[in-house]
Amino acid sequence: MAVRSNIVGIDSPEALEKALRAAYYLADEGLATAAYLGLALGKPLLLEGAPGVGKTEAAKAIAAVLGRRLIRLQCYEGIDASAALYEWNYPRQMLAIRQAGDESIDIYGETFLIERPMLAALRAPDSTVLLIDEIDRADQEFEAFLLEFLSDFQISIPERGTVRAVERPVVVLTSNRTRDLHEALRRRCVYHWIDYPTAEREARIIMMRASSVAESTARAVVAAVEKLRREPLSKAPGIAEAVDWAEAATLLHKGGARWPDAFKRSIGVALKDEEDLHFISPRLDAMLAEATA
């Protein structure tokens, strides 16, 4: 295994943590270590955690630190190889055949190839980061196909031959753990579970991402979302919702709304499900009063 001890000047997990912070992402020691090892060992990084804990943002921050283009493959039920690898531009091929008449034409040339995320990453491994987002939404057939890709980092195009990456591409996979992933997929990756941040860290994230928010407002939002996350909601507020809630409440407060009424009036930024709003409504005033006390 070829170990890359230095990646664009990053020679330790601590250096990567500092670089991620400069890219406005606060990574804890565990995430910084897992990401550094994935980069150094040339292995995919598998990030699991509840929706909204910052898995996708971590991939974006890694791409920013490396100075690379992020290529995102959003998984969904029924996704297949053609959506992930490549497709042929059939209408353009037919047009070219008609225009060529009796002349010979290669309808499998580069101009007819529609590049999808995984092929794009193979062709430019030194300037891209491939994000395979929410792999748990894909079915097991696609996961099996992905195993081969992550093993050899090559694909076969029957009409053109095999495409191999000249170096191991940087790959980040995320999962909300709606289903268990195959053990073989996990073995190919460096794994890290991302939990909701501590109250102190989340307040720092809010103030970093929303510069106009006061520290007292950030801490009140953190206290409120922590209470909401302990409730049986269909969609608990993630970090992004906490940041948006702090900004929205601050905006209303600057417009004349009092605390904690500014939080209550902007609750639709944090909770985005009618049943969740109905469920929490009877206790919302008490929650906000306690959070802002």
Q: What is the pLDDT of residue 1?
A: 45
Q: Report the predicted TM-score, pTM, of the whole model to 2 decimal places.
A: 0.88
75/16 Cα distance (integer angstroms): 28
**CATH superfamily ID and name for 13-80+117-194:** P-loop containing nucleotide triphosphate hydrolases (3.40.50.300)
Q: pLDDT, tens digit, for every residue of 166-212?
A: 888 999 999 999 898 989 999 999 999 999 999 999 999 999 988 78
Average pLDDT over residues 252-265: 90
Q: What is the pLDDT of residue 4?
A: 62
Closest CA to 69 of 151, 127, 141: 127
- Cβ neighbors of 151 (< 8 A, separation 6 or more) are 188
Domain ranges across the chain: 13-80+117-194, 199-292
Average pLDDT over residues 117-144: 92
Q: What is the pLDDT of residue 27?
A: 92
Tokens of 48: 């699991």
Q: What is the pLDDT of residue 85?
A: 87
How do 190-193 and 45-48 pair as beta strands?
Answer: parallel
Q: What is the pLDDT of residue 37?
A: 94
Q: Which amino acid type is present at position 184?
A: A
Average pLDDT over residues 36-54: 94
Residue pair 58/240 in contact by the 8 Å Cβ criterion: no
Sign (positive or negative) of CA dihedral 182, 184, 188, 194: positive
Residue pair 130/155 in contact by the 8 Å Cβ criterion: no
